[in-house]
Structures are given as C-alpha cells and as structure tokens.
Amino acid sequence: MIKKCAFCLLLLTTHACTGSNIQSYSDVEVLSVSVSILPQAYFVERVGGEHVAVNVMVGPGDEPHSYEPTPSQMRALTQSKVYFIIGVEFEKTWMPRFLAVSPDLHVVDTAAGIERMPMAAAYDGEAAGELDPHIWLSPALVKVQAQNIYDALVDADPAHTVDYHAGLESFLSDIDQLDASIRSTFSIIKINKFMTFHPAWGYFARDYGLAMIPIEIGGQEPSAEELARMIDLARQYDIRFIFTQKEFSSKSAEAIAEEIGAQVVLVDPLARDWLSNMQTLANAFARALGQ
C-alpha cells in the first residue's frame, strides 16, 4: 500500500521532500499526518516544524460540514501515521472509512479537554442540538489544541521532543500576542451584536464579548417567514453589516442586507495562515462594529 518514491528516499536524510505527497513513513524521517481543515495544518506545522508533513482533507473552498474526500486524498491518507480530528461533521461519516483503508492510523482528538458549547441558536434562542465545532476560531481554545498536538507528536516521534517543545512555546506566545492584539483592536467596538449567515463565530464572540445572530437555521437557508423575522430583528438591533463566507450561499444574507440597507462582508474562517487571518478577521469585525 505504501508507495515509495526513489527520489524522495534518496533525499530523505538531508531534507523533507516537497512537491510530492509521497514520503517514506517507515523511515520516520518526516512524520506524515492528516488533518481535517486548513487551520489545523497551520497548528500542526507550528508545533511540528520540519519534522512533519501535513495532508489536509478539506481544501480551500470546501465546506467542512458536508465534505467528501476524493480518491487521491484517500490514497494520501494511507501515508499518514496520525490523524488529528477536530470535531467537524464530516469526520463522523468518514473516520470509519479512513480507518478501513488505514487500520494503523492513530486518531488524536485535538478537541480533548475542550468543553464545546451547543451550536449557536437561531434568533429565537433555540439551540439546534449539535455541539459547535468551530473551536479553531478561539485563540484560547487553539492553545489547548496546540498542547494536544504537541503531546501526540511527542508520542509518535519522541526523538524530536526538544524541537516540538520549542515549536509549541513559540506558537503559544504568538497566540497570547494575537489575543492581546484582538482585544486592543476591539476596544473601539460600539455595537456588540452582529449577524452572520453561518454560525461559525460562537467561541470568537464569547471570547471577545460579542453577540452573534446566525441566519442559517439548522444548516439550512431560512424560510420566507423566518427571513421576515430576521429582517425585523436586524432592524431592531440596528445591524449594519452581515458576515458571510465563500463556502455558503449568501442569498439570504443579501436579501436581509438589501431590506435594511446593511452591507455584506465576506470573511474567511478557514484560511490556512491562521495567525495572520485571525487578525484580519478581527480588523473586519472592528471596522463593522466600531462605527
């Protein structure tokens, strides 16, 4: 099952083979791992540095709630020794199949120790019943995930413990700085309520004293009647910006925005370059809520 590339094997002792997904994991020079979403790839790379090669299942523009892997991704998965799950929906469906093709895959829950809250309620305060998977949008919770990733990397590859520890420390310190920077960015915020199509910002809102009003109801576009209620609510709260992301239709967000004269703001909660993206996101929220 394990494909070996002669060129990669040749170079394996001197450097990691880029430009190819194929690596020899029996030699464990570079630890091959898989993750579900792009921000996790950033987390693993920050802790693992040059000692890890990360395969991402949900690529740019894909939607982690309903994603289905391609055959080539399934093949890439067989190279991995570790799979870092985070709790996005597609894992529930696909993990048994991943384990069927890769029975030795070591599954690590990066959400271990994190108490997840119920999926953000619709406008009337009814919880949808599911637990909110968007834990990568909270710097505080990413610190927990980084620690879990560190523990797993040390477990899988104890020879590089010192480097993993240095990677962890540097990442944790960057997260602390990010958190301080977001707090200072948000000091200008005047309105704390915001509307968003997809309820990705529950933990982010909780961390920074904001209140999220999601448009999507139980993963669906709202009905005409629900949309009308949402428009009333948006008026009542004087909503001037509605956040959307490219993975979801912005039809209902645009309908509400047009009705109340608000602006639709496209944000990306799934960018790979997590640290700088979080500051970009904070700036977008501050611009919208600070006027």
Structure tokens at 266: 């496209």
Rounded CA-CA distance 259/106 in Å is: 50
Whichever of 88 and 156 has its CB closer to Zn ion, that residue is 88
Q: How far is the CB of 200 from Zn ion (least distance, A)?
A: 5
| φ, ψ (nearest 5 deg) of residue 53 | -120, 125
Q: Nearest-CA neighbor of 218 among 229, 210, 226? A: 226
**Strand segments (E) across 38-185:** 52-58, 82-85, 106-109
Q: How far is the CB of 262 from Zn ion (least distance, A)?
A: 22
Q: Are 150 and 47 in contact (CB under 8 A)?
A: yes
Q: How far is the CB of 167 from Zn ion (least distance, A)?
A: 27
Which residues form the interface with Zn ion (CB under 5 A)? Answer: 200
Q: How far is the CB of 269 from Zn ion (least distance, A)?
A: 7
Whichever of 48 and 202 has its CB closer to Zn ion, that residue is 202
Q: Are 255 and 233 in contact (CB under 8 A)?
A: no
Q: How far is the CB of 38 from Zn ion (least distance, A)?
A: 13
Query: Which one-letter amino acid corresponds to residue 41?
Result: A
Residue nearest to Zn ion (CB): 200
Whichever of 38 and 200 has its CB closer to Zn ion, that residue is 200
Whichever of 67 and 150 has its CB closer to Zn ion, that residue is 67
Rounded CA-CA distance 224/234 in Å is: 15
Rounded CA-CA distance 78/251 in Å is: 39
Q: How far is the CB of 6 from Zn ion (least distance, A)?
A: 41
Query: How many C-alpha atoms does 280 have within 13 Å on its Cβ side?
Result: 13
Q: What is the dihedral of CA 16, 22, 27, 30, to 10 degrees?
A: 40
Whichever of 23 and 252 has its CB closer to Zn ion, that residue is 252
Whichever of 157 and 247 has its CB closer to Zn ion, that residue is 247
- Beta-bridge mates of residue 35: 56, 84
Q: How far is the CB of 30 from Zn ion (least distance, A)?
A: 31
